[in-house]
Structure 1
């Protein structure tokens, strides 16, 4: 029988500090249980969406929903009202529990809405039908509409003993991730099950993350590539003392090796690990400790299988195809979308929508998101490779590449002005002639979605008129 999350939390030392926010506010296991039990007594069962800007409020509400036998629907407070309404309807949420600091959609949601303070048992809070889901999380929607991923309890708690062992000897880990997302829920699972205190932040700009690593003196930090790339580009990793880090996890997307190289030079005693995974594939994961500047993502983690899939099935080493991951955990699915589920989740494998190859040593080499691949004169070009090449110029903060009528186009954000010919020179040093950008456009910023992912389609449309 699968152990529930409330059972896992109740087995822990009540005095242990499970979660801290900005290093100022904390939540012990005992406080977490008491606050969640009080809230759970007033909650109906069913699918309940959570919309909080405050981590502690979210943590209490999440555990309370699980105690009440409900399903958590994670929502980011960064989402516009129209998107919130759409997601609430798509997940058939019975109710919306939100923090006093956020404004729920004023119209268009048929379920009940309340804060933990205003919630009263039976006061218009009808429950929904029970199901066997622990939570529903939305994908980032980087390359299309965000999709709801259904997560069973067995999937969510799979390997929780290993999660605890991962943090043995670590008294604190900073997770620079947004609340209400898949990464945020992973941080919450760590807070519920691991011996380390999880530190989260209300602000995720690169300077704040670097400053808080210094302030908290945490031995381990988990930082998304988009944040660490900008942190290094602006030199925040050198202006703040990050030497207390014993381990720095960068995931779960490819990181420019220029960024990794500068981090390794500044933090020679820190073990840097690159990770790769997705909301759909969890807990399957690929990772590597950085011991060289070779361009690869490493091999599958314990309990994970890796395959490269072609039109006719698995491909041998060296052949480019779709990256697929599989774990021993029960597989996830797309909520109420059997067609999309059948397309992505097949025979236990999760098809990642990314292209790559495996070398003779079993290491994964990422090529590109399938939808981001650039084709010029029938030749396939990796937009990721173009972007990463441009990052070797010290003034490049961010880069995004895509194809247009002229060939390869790259947009860059610069720390200070640089002649365009300098950028073309750096690209030429690391790219084949057919991969080099025909034009490089300097922009003030790259368009991003609500949780920070670059929106290449919007960028392409904006630059088409320039």
Structure 2
């Protein structure tokens, strides 16, 4: 079923319900949201765009973003959301790879200079205004369950990004699983989009449209802790998706300003490692407002979830272990930890995490080799290493490519990072392996400090919780860790930096 059908149904049932907000200002109700989408859909159809066509959206977060997406789907076309922080040449590559016939963007000249040949419709320009003035389609074009609707381009931390093909059925499964495994949603709720709508944060729009909830676009267009606290107080019942680095910044800002998270209902975190010490600090500051999810663009936001109850249950004997996990399988997912030969690993032993179920992508666009490597024997092989405990809680170790093999022993960077973060002077840390002629690889830790500290003290922090052979052989102190636009540490850049020295 076309996801735009959810918007249309909600608009028919709740036409006057407040829908889109820019900061605290209401932009439109659900009737207006739906009409804008159907008008854009009609304008696209008049251009001959519909089923089988890909349409890119290269825009920062704003109140026009969701109507454009739903307009694309109303016409029956496939949306290709592109991170607004990418360089125009990177955008040009994605547009060409997706064969996008049209792209919505803030400005055309930079894209033209980068070689984009597709038609560009500038936001708030005359073409966009004409689209909104087009007599709307009566309802969205009907789509089959396997019809592609969202081309999710991976963040591309290594090599070129790949376009994961997500169908109507994939997104419906993800959305309904949110209600089953992550959080309930009501018309009184508000979804805040402080992370890019082109990725994880945007994927949670569907369930909030289904339940006639409010959609809040910050005036800053992004993540600003002070603004988030203000919007939470103004709107109430605010839910948001945040990377762990964003949660950490929220906590730091709250401590400085005295904010308690008033008005925040739920913070769903994921997209990178959340260290146990960090989530404990977040709980102490804001209380039980947190849910963790583990997913990938290839199975959007839907592999496992660590519930609000699990995160808050400090009396449970396994609480700390569960805080360090990513929870249990989503209702629509089957999760396994497999050996290199595809056989399940025993409970507690590390292998590659695999998932199968209704949310798993159809494959990568124009990349049969990558598709065949990732989708094998009915499983999506995630490239992540982890283990399951007897109760089904999944603990991530690292990406398979980040595993450090030193002297024939496997060392998982995350356990070294957890040990170092226990030291009060350490703000952030990322561990990689450095080639070594004697050991194969040795452990190197890139460390961001809040206060001066001797390396011997860091060594002691490690050896107090992990085996001595796992402690770093070298520390590199940096002002900040390189991250992509979603807050993930770029270990490829750390390796390049290490190679330079």
Corresponding residue of 2:462: 427
- Look up the match of 2:126: 118
List alignment gaps of at least 5 residues for structure 1. 123-129
Query: What are the equivalent positions in structure 2 for 1:122-141 lying under 5 Å apart?
Result: 132-141=147-156
Partner of residue 90, structure 1: 97
- Please name the residue that 2:273 is paired with: 254
Once the two structures are superposed, residues 348-392 of structure 1 have per-residue CA deviations (whole angstroms, 9 ceiling, x without a partner) of: 321110011112221112111111111111111111222222222
Deviations 1:403-423 (A, max 9, x none): 114621111222343344333
Q: Does 1:342 align with 2:372?
A: yes
Of stretches 76-85 and 436-445 in structure 1, the one that deviates more from structure 2 is 436-445
**SS at structure 1 position matched to 2:113:** coil
String of CA shifts for 1:117-158, please: whole Å, max 9, x gaps: 332889xxxxxxx99321211112234432111111222223
Q: Could you tell me the TM-score, scaled by structure 2's length?
A: 0.83
What secondary structure sits across from 1:353 in the alignment? Answer: strand
Measure how far apart 1:271 and its partner are.
4.1
Report deviation, 1:322. Answer: 0.5
Distance 1:36 1:221, change over 3 A: closer
Aligned to 2:477: 442
Q: TM-score, with normalisation over the residues of structure 1?
A: 0.88
1:190-232 deviation digits (Å, cap 9, x = unpaired): 3422343233431215555455445544353332112113433
Alignment match, 1:375: 405
Tell me, in whole angstroms, the C-alpha distance in 2 between the residues paired with 1:465 and 1:244: 47
Given that 1:287 and 1:300 are in contact with CA atoms closer than 8 Å, whether structure 2 keeps it comes out as yes
3-state SS of paired residue (1:56): coil
How far, CA to CA, are the matches of 2:96 and 2:109 in structure 1? 19
What's the offset of the Cα at 1:445?
1.4
Whether the 8 Å CA contact 2:148–2:166 is kept in 1: the answer is yes
Describe the shift of the 1:328–1:41 C-alpha distance in structure 2 as closer, same or farther (beyond 3 A): closer
Question: 473, 488, 492: which is aligned to 1:457?
Answer: 492
Alignment pair present for 1:183 and 2:200:
yes
Please point out which of 136, 147, 158 is paired with 2:173. 158
Q: Which moved more, 1:205-214 or 1:426-435?
A: 205-214
CA distances 1:327-352 after superposition (whole Å, capped 9, x unpaired): 23464311111111111122332111
Indicate conservation of the 8 Å contact 2:404/2:433, yes or no.
Answer: yes
* Offset at residue 58 of structure 1 (A): 1.4
The range that moved more, 217-226 or 132-141, is: 217-226
Q: 1:208 to 1:102 in 2, by over 3 A?
A: farther
The residue aligned with 1:20 is 21
Report what 1:66 is aligned to.
73
Q: 1:266 aligns with which of 285, 303, 313?
A: 285
Of 327-336 and 292-301, the range deviating more from structure 2: 327-336
- Alignment: residue pair count: 456
Quick check: 1:171–1:219 contact (8 Å CA) kept in 2?
A: no
Q: Hey, what's the Cα distance between the residues in 2 that align with 1:103 and 1:179? A: 21
Bigger mean CA deviation after superposition, 221-230 or 304-313: 221-230
Secondary structure at the counterpart of residue 282 of structure 1: strand
Alignment of 1:22-41 (within 5 A): 22-41=23-42
Q: Distance in 1 between matches of 2:193 and 2:243?
A: 7
Native 8 Å contact 1:211 1:240 kept in 2: no
CA contact (8 A) 1:283 1:327 kept: no
The change in CA–CA distance for 1:300 and 1:157 in structure 2 (over 3 A counts) is same
Match of 1:306 among 335, 342, 354: 335
Match of 1:357 in 2: 387
CA distance change for structure 1 residues 409 and 317 in 2, over 3 Å: closer, same or farther? Answer: same
SS in 2 for 1:41: helix
CA separation in 2, counterparts of 1:159 and 1:463? 39
1:106 pairs with one of 109, 113, 122: 113
2:43 is paired with a residue of what secondary structure? coil
Q: Distance in 2 between matches of 1:27 and 1:430?
A: 54
Q: 1:390 to 1:229 in 2, by over 3 A?
A: farther
Structure 1 CA distance, aligned partners of 2:449 and 2:225? 15
CA distance in 2, matches of 1:302, 1:51: 33
**Aligned-pair CA distance for 1:431:** 2.3
More helix by share: 2
Q: Indicate the residue corresponding to 2:6 in structure 1.
A: 8
Rate the CA distance shift 1:191–1:456 in 2: closer, same or farther, 3 A. Answer: same
Secondary structure of the corresponding residue to residue 300 of structure 2: coil
Alignment check: 8 A CA contact 2:187 2:211 kept: no
**In structure 2, what is the equivalent of residue 293 of structure 1?**
320
- Per the TM alignment, residue 243 of structure 1 is displaced from its structure 2 partner at its CA by 4.5
Match of residue 281, structure 1, among 299, 304, 315: 299
User: Superposition RMSD on alpha carbons, in Å?
Assistant: 2.8
Deviation at residue 93 of structure 1 after TM alignment: 0.8
Give the 5 Å matches for 1:371-410: 371-405=401-435, 407-410=442-445
* Structure 1, 276-285 or 323-332: larger mean CA deviation: 323-332
Which runs of 5 or more residues in structure 2 are unaligned? 132-142, 314-318, 437-441
Q: The residue matched to 2:152 in structure 1 has which SS?
A: strand
Change beyond 3 A, Cα 1:447–1:283: closer
CA contact (8 A) 1:27 1:56 kept: no
Measured in 2, the distance between the counterparts of 1:177 and 1:106 equals 30
Question: Is the 2:201–2:240 Cα contact (8 Å) retained in structure 1?
Answer: no
8 Å contact kept, 2:57–2:82: yes
